[in-house]
Amino acid sequence: MRRPLVILLVALVTPVAIVAQADSARAPDPIAQLVARLELERYKATIKGLTAFGDRRQGTDRNRAAVDWIEAQLRSYGCSDVSRLRYDYQPSPPSPEGRGGQGVRTRDTTRASGGGRYRGIRARTGVNSDSLKQPDARVRALDAQPSTAGAREEVYCTKIGTTHPEEMYIVGAHMDGIGWGEAANDDGSGTALVMELARVLCSADVRTDRSIRFALWNNEETGLNGARAYVEQRRALQGTQHEPKWLGMIQHDMMMFDHGMPRADGTLAATQRPEADVNIEFQASSKFAAEAQQLAWVFHAANEKYATDYPASVGSHMTNTDSAPFQDFVPAISLRENERGTQIGAGWDPNWHQPTDLYATYDDADFRLGLNAAQTTLAALAGLTGATLK
């Protein structure tokens, strides 16, 4: 007598369950919805806004004005905890071998800083310090004021998590530049990327389980001093009301130019190479190498699913960018247009620290490479922090 009732209940419940499963399958993917909010023209406009301040060299009025502009933009996006980290910068005397820094060759000319081995054809590279190599009088005037030592500031803001606000990922880029250009790629492209992520993720209808900090470092070009100051001042505060626990650090530096290896005569292709990719690097010698590698592959998977144009590749020689001060305290990775030590250091980017690093130098294929890096990071972060739309 009970069997027909059971059958009736099953008959009534099963279609409901099937419909529920079907509705779930048809539900919009919140990560895809968030990634769709990244727009090429918005990304370009943010880079353009940064280049209005010239190269934004640290220790100058143009740098301070750019910091003010970045803070105003972040506040307009609705970010929480918009703050400034303050520190003092006193340059050390020049070394006999010249300025240290990203991609500068060491005595071992077969290897780049960070352990990568140079391959293929190499071209001349370095830092331009000659104002007369900038033919544009407007840019030359913007960049004319020299740097002076002293107090420095850098801006950060936070998307506060609703479930675990005490844990966070740090997403960074450096806003200062050098070379008598506009620092459009190095690192306007990374700064604009982080600002665009803040705009999307700090929207009122976006919820994340964990917190995300958006940091725009200063003094990268002098030796990662802004990022080092953050680590020195805030690492010990983790787990208190003043600083959530660091879960990972993701740096963005030079996102747009991947035109390939120099030709035999030292020239490079005028357009993006067909094999251009979003390079994701960790440092194999860091204390968190295994965890950082795992984080890098999470970003690679996010690129595979959500980036529209350019694929990603993973490398193990992250070097000389603002993730380095973090790499022995938290899993740290860096995104960029190609391998920093072995390709940038070998002269694969003729605009690096040069007067040609101007907004006008790049075309939409270059800007789109940066946008694909933004899509990659946004998708990965959304998954890691449990992002949803209200």
**Total Cβ atoms within 10 A of residue 348:** 26
Mean pLDDT, the chain cut into blocks of 10 residues (390 residues total): 41 47 72 98 98 98 98 96 97 61 42 70 89 98 98 98 98 98 98 98 98 98 98 97 96 96 90 94 97 98 97 95 98 90 88 97 97 98 97
Position 138 scores a pLDDT of 97
Category of 111 on φ-ψ map: left (φ > 0), alpha (ψ -120 to 50) or beta: beta
**What was the pLDDT predicted at 110?**
60
Ordered by start, the domain boundaries in the chain are 28-389
Query: Could you tell me the sign of the dihedral formed by the alpha carbons of 231, 236, 240, 241, in that order?
Result: negative
Q: What is the pLDDT of residue 24?
A: 54
* Measured distance CA(260)–CA(268) in Å, rounded: 7
Q: Which residues contact 167 (CB under 8 A, 6 or more apart)?
A: 161, 210, 211, 244, 245, 247
* Tokens representing residue 120 in the block: 């293929």
Q: Are strands 388-389 and 278-281 parallel, antiparallel or unpaired?
A: unpaired
This prediction's pTM: 0.90
Beta strand 80-89 pairing with 150-159: antiparallel
pLDDT at residue 23 in the model: 54
Pairing status of strand 332-336 against strand 278-281? antiparallel
DSSP tag of 7: H
Closest CA to 184 of 256, 121, 129: 256
Classify the C-alpha dihedral 78-300-279-234 as positive or negative. Answer: positive
Cα gap 337→293, rounded to integer Å? 18
Q: Which residues contact 149 (CB under 8 A, 6 or more apart)?
A: 59, 89, 90, 91
**Residue 76, pLDDT score:** 97
Q: Rounded to 5 degrees, what are φ and ψ at 52? A: -65, -15
User: pLDDT per residue over 370-387, tens digit each?
Assistant: 999 999 999 999 999 999
Tokens of 333: 């990775």
Which CATH architecture does the domain made up of 28-389 adopt? 3-Layer(aba) Sandwich (3.40)
